[in-house]
Structure 1
Amino acid sequence: MKILFNPFEDRTDRDVRNFLGSAFICALHKGDQAPVAQAVSDLGRKKLPERAQSYITARYARYTAVLSQMSSNPLLGADLYATAALLWDESLFFECHEWLEQNYRTLQGQEKKVLQAMIRTAGTFELLTYNRKKAAVSVATKALSVLEPHFLQVPESFNIQPKIARLKTVIKDA
């Protein structure tokens, strides 16, 4: 039986995801692929299971695609929500969550609640990626309770409507 990569059930997998994700967030800020390349190199020197190696290879390809798009359109990096949407479009839900979360503490009031709901939305789909449906439904319910009445507060660059529809489906299919 082949064991799949799962950062929710395996400490090594979680460490790989977190290390690689942190390097990617750093690369986004710098507009430079070097932190990701260094992280991949560092991880490559470790004796990691095949599932982790496959994850690293797949993530590296997605990270490279995002960084390439951002370098060809510098305005993307200047817009927190456009960058988050780009991460979402590459199914980088963990990284989208991390990208948005770093701005959470700087906000106040309703804007902070909406951002938290967006973070939870990304978290929902990270949970679903690893078949953690019960937790995903719980997080989706919390996100939807804020996003539905306040969707107009989400910047257009994040395109929240399809994400709200998916949250509703997650809850309905539970």
Structure 2
Amino acid sequence: MMKIRFNPFEDRTDRDVRNFLGSAFVGALHKGDPAPVVQAISKLGQKTLPDPAQRYIKARYDQYSGVLTQIFADPLLGADIYAVASLLWDEALFFECHEWLEQNYRAVKGQEKKVLQAMIRTAGTFELLTYDRKRAAVSVAAKALSVLESDFSQVPESFKIQPKMTRLKAVIKNA
């Protein structure tokens, strides 16, 4: 059967491409330099990849370039991990949002860690939905929402959690 679309949940090559690019992008965010993304794109360009993977790489490069330009132009934005996560979310870079927040997960403790995990799950929910993994998305959304409903005041304002919670509720309701 011929593969028609990019799907990192069903294809190992797609998963490797997504993870490699996502890691390079998070590296670029940390360094304040797009070089890791450029290097990753160059390395992937040396491989023979199926058309869906090539289209994904090009689309991600375009998105990454736009986001990095915004972040590098505004030092205050780049200094706020939650504002960066919100920008990634707004650009539908859910996997990268998940990865970005996860990088910061190890550094926090207590209630903040619990809330950050819920935020990571929120991004994960929409990454799952991007690839029609509804059952898993509903499960992850319910876990995220159970924390966020009681602790949403703990979420930094720059993450803009209320609209995301509304979307999580819709995911669960429409299950």
Instruction: Classify the TM-score, shorter chain.
Output: over 0.9
Please give the per-residue CA displacement for 1:2-60, whole angstroms capped at 9, x wherever unaligned.
Answer: 61100000000000000000000000011111110110010011000000000000000
1:31 — aligned with what?
32
Unaligned runs of 5+ residues in structure 2 are none
Counterpart of 2:76 in structure 1 is 75
Aligned length, in residue pairs: 174
Give RMSD over aligned pairs.
0.8
TM-score normalized with structure 1 length: 0.98
1:106 partner SS? coil
Counterpart mapping for 1:113-152 below 5 A: 113-152=114-153
Distance in structure 2 (CA, Å) of the matches to 1:64 and 1:31:
12
> What pairs with 1:8-23 in structure 2 (closer than 5 Å)?
8-23=9-24
Partner letter of residue 153 of structure 2? L
* Residue 158 (structure 1) aligns with: 159
3-state SS in 1 of match to 2:96: helix
1 CA distance for matches of 2:103 and 2:21?
Answer: 16
- Tell me the distance in 2 between the aligned counterparts of 1:115 and 1:130: 23
Task: Name the aligned partner's letter for residue 157 of structure 2.
Answer: E
Post-superposition shift, 1:109?
Answer: 1.1
Equivalent position of 1:93 in the other structure: 94
- Residue by residue over 1:97-148, the C-alpha shift from the partner in whole angstroms, topping out at 9 and shown as x without a partner, is 0000011111111110000000000000000000000000000000000001
1:153 Cα deviation from its structure 2 partner: 0.6
Query: Residue 51 of structure 2 corresponds to which residue in structure 1?
Result: 50
2:7 corresponds to:
6
What fraction of aligned residue pairs are identical, expressed as a percent?
77
| Amino acid in structure 2 at the alignment position of 1:87 | L
Deviation at 1:73, TM superposition (A): 0.4
Aligned to 2:108: 107
Q: Which runs of 5+ in 1 are unaligned?
A: none
